[in-house]
Amino acid sequence: MPEFHTNFVLSMIKYLVLFTATLLPSLLLPQPGPVTPVPLKNTKTNQGFWHDRVQLAHDVTVPHALHQCEESGRIDNFAVAGGLKKGVFQGIRFNDSDVFKVVEGAAYVLQNQYDPKLDHYLDSLITLFAAAQEPDGYLYTIRTINKDTTGSYDWIAGPYRYAFENGSHELYNVGHLYEAAVAHYEATGKKNLLNVAVKNADHLVKTIGPNPGQIVVVPGHEEIESALVRLYKVTGKKEYLALSKFFIDMRGRSDKRTLFLDEHKLGPAYFQDQVPFVRQKEAVGHAVRAQYLYAAVADHLAIQDDPKYDATIDAIWEDATFKKQYITGGMGAREDGEAFDKPYVLPNDNAYAETCAAIANMLWNHKMYLVTGEAKYMDVFERVLYNGFLAGMSVKGNAFFYVNPMSSNGINDFNKGAGAVRHEWFGTACCPTNVSRFLPSMPAYIYAMRDNGLVINLFAGSETNVTLANVPVKVSQQTSYPWEGNVRISVNPEKPAEFPLSVRIPGWATGEAIPGNLYAYEDKLSKPVTLSINGKKSEAVIEKGYIKLNRKWKKGDVVELTLDMPVRKVVSNENIKSNAGKVAIERGPVLYCAEGHDNGGKALTISMSGTQDFTPVFQKEMLGGINVLKSKEENVTLIPYYAWANRGASEMTIWFNKKQ
């Protein structure tokens, strides 16, 4: 047999064995009993902290991002690729993804509150996407526009699509297309965008895989793995699920790794391609790529159990959460490679903690929660939500941090040329567009369904409509959270019905700052949670992070909860050298910082005495309405970390030296 032929046959056998070894066992295993998310459409925010922000997404953030996509030529790229306009490709090779991400966000906006103008505008964009798509389904505007050119576009103009996938983002871009398509279909019932996504995914199914004539590719920037699962869920096309799994299982095995340009000196670990996924043990490499991969693994586990995936993802989650996470929930300490650093290496002033990595952390943890029902994942989610994520956007919703340091001298430019403040947009606009898609989707994370009952995971003024024990039920919450710990839950089944209502009691309310021992409250004190049902005091039994109330509910039932919200001092694990001898301040889920604006221009030199006491004072007109913390004895004022840098550049710190 000629050598070429032998190699070909051998590699086919290799792929067949790998494919059978990884895919088959999972097909034979029973389904796990996961939590079911409550669809976004069922839940509406109606008052308070999150309602204001969901409204902001509709009024400001999403329109702003769409406008920026127009101004920067991102939308024109589709028109040019589709031959509807003359021009050149503008921007960076992953610019298509930004447009898809904002369309996804716009689709959530429509789900929250229908807006015919926005709906029509999206249709006009979808016409451009369809025009830019090549006849066989391929969609990547930079290549379509530059097919026949040479020079700086050589790597794109070459004959092989996906040949440079570990740098090109071809698959990353269309991953975001699929997510947008599903969200748009769910919002409008229209298939115009879904059809573009399906045509592209069908092209991928044909092109990539273990069969003769197909190519083996590992996505250089994960994202499509989760997106394919999502597309499978609306289309029922099992081949999408299989391709997603193929992408996960081929990590560390691709033949195309030689093309990788190792500018960050992380090797293939930069995109989690160092060894097969099930042999990976730590969170490594680019923090967004990594967490999108881990989120996709959780997607698969929610559909089909797989002990190897399970063990691997648990080990990686513990490594990331227990050793590599900022107090904000930020991930990826290293600027070089936008990557995870070694355990406990979490510098403060030059922290990277990309906004996208915070969002990825939430997505990953929520998906882990859906697989397991464990409160610890929602504890991490909540920490990121109020801190690492929310800091990524301005209180007005139209300026963004790409990088999120834990301290700043107010001078050094850490934010990609924007200085020490947020910027309205970036050349690489991954963060503003990720905020645009996450913010309006927030109501989807408030509730879930489990054991034929409803779970309240987040406190937010809202109402959800679900069917429990075959009875339509409306459940609503009224709350001043996160400023106060009072929550009033109304349960209104159409007719009396028995089902469990579970309420997550955040770790912070029972003395645990974060799962693991990376950060801890200096004192363990907090008053027990109080609970009443229809005005009658009831014992608040917290089991594994939840109070579970199983009873026959009737119209007008009211559950009231009070969580004590003292101001707490937080200390770090002693292995984090950058926080040695320092303390941070939190109240409820909100992490505080000192900003020069409130403290005579200085923040970095503020130190805390052991007895220093803070009083929360609500300031309605300040920074969108916040509780500031005031300390009489030292004349120190703290504001929520998420609200810093909204009044111009200034010194800021989260961690304070302890006074000796």
Where along the sequence are the contacts to ligand FUB (CB under 6 A)?
Answer: 94, 221, 288, 338, 354, 356, 428, 430
What is the DSSP secondary-structure string of 542-593?
Answer: EETTEEEEEEEE-TTEEEEEE----EEEEEE-TT-GGGTTEEEEEETTEEEE
**Measured from the CB of residue 571, what is the shortest distance to ligand FUB in angstroms?**
30
**Measured from the CB of residue 247, what is the shortest distance to ligand FUB in angstroms?**
17
C-alpha distance from residue 465 to each of 252, 499, 552, 561, 617 (Å):
45, 14, 18, 21, 35
**Measured from the CB of residue 103, what is the shortest distance to ligand FUB in angstroms?**
17
> Which CB atom, from 360 or from 529, has the smaller least distance to Zn ion?
360
**Measured from the CB of residue 496, what is the shortest distance to ligand FUB in angstroms?**
50
306 and 26 Cβ atoms separated by less than 8 Å: yes
Closest CA to 418 of 394, 434, 438, 437: 394
Among 298, 316, 390, 430, binds Zn ion (CB under 5 A): 430
- 338 binding partner (options ligand FUB, Zn ion, none; Cβ < 5 to 8 Å by kind): ligand FUB
> Which CB atom, from 140 or from 185, has the smaller least distance to ligand FUB?
140
Three-class SS of 95-154: HHHHHHHHHHHHHHHHHHCCCHHHHHHHHHHHHHHHHHCCCCCCCCHHHHHHCCCCHHHH
> What gap in Å lies between CA 72 and CA 406, rounded to an integer?
31
Partners of 627 in beta bridges: 618
> What gap in Å lies between CA 63 and CA 399, rounded to an integer?
13
Measured from the Cβ of residue 152, the count of other Cβ atoms closer than 10 Å reads 9
- 170 binding partner (options ligand FUB, Zn ion, none; Cβ < 5 to 8 Å by kind): none
Using CB under 5 A as the binding rule, whether residue 356 contacts Zn ion is answered as yes
224 contacts: CB under 8 Å, gap ≥ 6: 171, 172, 174, 175, 178, 244, 247
342 contacts: CB under 8 Å, gap ≥ 6: none
Helix 192-207 vs helix 238-249: angle between axes, to the nearest 10 degrees? Answer: 50
Token code pair at residue 205: 């199914």
**Measured from the CB of residue 415, what is the shortest distance to Zn ion in angstroms?**
12
**Measured from the CB of residue 401, what is the shortest distance to ligand FUB in angstroms?**
13
> Which CB atom, from 143 or from 437, has the smaller least distance to Zn ion?
437
**Measured from the CB of residue 286, what is the shortest distance to ligand FUB in angstroms?**
6
> Which CB atom, from 280 or from 291, has the smaller least distance to Zn ion?
291
**Measured from the CB of residue 425, what is the shortest distance to ligand FUB in angstroms?**
14
**Measured from the CB of residue 426, what is the shortest distance to Zn ion in angstroms?**
8
**Measured from the CB of residue 354, what is the shortest distance to Zn ion in angstroms?**
5
- 298 binding partner (options Zn ion, ligand FUB, none; Cβ < 5 to 8 Å by kind): none
**Measured from the CB of residue 336, what is the shortest distance to Zn ion in angstroms?**
16
**Measured from the CB of residue 405, what is the shortest distance to Zn ion in angstroms?**
15
- 106 binding partner (options Zn ion, ligand FUB, none; Cβ < 5 to 8 Å by kind): none
**The tokens 């004190």 sit on which residue?**
525
First-residue to last-residue Cα distance in the chain:
79
Using CB under 5 A as the binding rule, whether residue 378 contacts Zn ion is answered as no
Task: Compute CA 210 distance to the chain's CA centroid, rounded to the nearest angstrom.
Answer: 31
> Which CB atom, from 221 or from 569, has the smaller least distance to ligand FUB?
221
Choices 106-114, 189-197, 428-436, 592-600; region in contact with Zn ion by CB under 5 A: 428-436
306: left (phi over 0), alpha (psi -120 to 50) or beta: beta
Partners of 450 in beta bridges: 453
Using CB under 5 A as the binding rule, whether residue 227 contacts Zn ion is answered as no
> Which residue type is seen at 142?
I
**Measured from the CB of residue 416, what is the shortest distance to ligand FUB in angstroms?**
10
Closest CA to 271 of 217, 214, 191: 217
**Measured from the CB of residue 133, what is the shortest distance to ligand FUB in angstroms?**
21
Using CB under 5 A as the binding rule, whether residue 418 contacts Zn ion is answered as no
**Measured from the CB of residue 654, what is the shortest distance to Zn ion in angstroms?**
21
> What gap in Å lies between CA 399 and CA 395, rounded to an integer?
8
CA angle 363, 509, 613 (to 5 degrees): 115
DSSP 388: I
> Which CB atom, from 107 or from 435, has the smaller least distance to Zn ion?
435
C-alpha distance from residue 124 to each of 119, 247, 504 (Å):
9, 32, 42
Choices 159-167, 424-432, 481-489, 527-535; region in contact with Zn ion by CB under 5 A: 424-432
Q: Which residues of 270-309 are buried (b: 16+ CB within 10 A; e: fewer)?
A: bbbbbebbbebebbbbbbbbbbbbbbbbbbbbbbbbbeeb
Closest CA to 461 of 437, 435, 442: 442
Token code pair at residue 34: 């996961």
DSSP 273: -
Q: Which residues of 571-603 are buried (b: 16+ CB within 10 A; e: fewer)?
A: bbbeebebbeebbbbbbbbbbbbbbbbbbeeeb
Using CB under 5 A as the binding rule, whether residue 431 contacts Zn ion is answered as yes
Q: How many residues does the chain have?
A: 660
> What gap in Å lies between CA 433 and CA 226, rounded to an integer?
18
Closest CA to 509 of 617, 589, 570: 589
Binding site for Zn ion (CB under 5 A): 354, 356, 430-431
